[in-house]
Amino acid sequence: MTTESLPLSNTRYELPPGGITLVGYVVRRMHKTVLLAPIPALVQSGQTAEALAQVALYAAGASASFGPAFYQPEFNPVGDVIAEPDPATGAVVTAKLESRSPHYRISYSVEMPDGSQFSGSEEITGTTVSLRGLGMPAPSLFKYNAAGGRYAARLAGLITSELIPGFIGRSRIRAHGALTLQDDAGNTGELELARNGQARVSVTGRDGNVITRHMSFIVAPASK
Q: List b or e across 21-32, with b for residues whose CB sees 16 or more CB atoms inside 10 angstroms.
A: bbbbbbbbbbbb
* Selection from 93, 69, 61 nearest residue 172 by Cα: 69
Distance separating alpha carbons of residues 17 and 214, to the nearest angstrom? 32
Residue by residue, pLDDT tens for the chain (224 residues) are 343 444 467 999 999 999 999 999 999 999 999 999 999 999 999 999 999 999 999 999 999 999 999 999 999 999 999 999 999 999 999 999 999 999 999 999 999 999 999 999 999 998 888 878 899 999 999 999 999 999 999 999 999 999 998 766 689 999 999 999 999 999 999 999 999 999 999 999 999 999 999 999 865 454 44
Distance separating alpha carbons of residues 86 and 32, to the nearest angstrom? 8
Distance separating alpha carbons of residues 223 and 15, to the nearest angstrom? 12
Architecture of domain 2-219: Beta Barrel (2.40)
pTM recorded for the entire structure: 0.93
Coil/strand/helix, residue 15 = coil
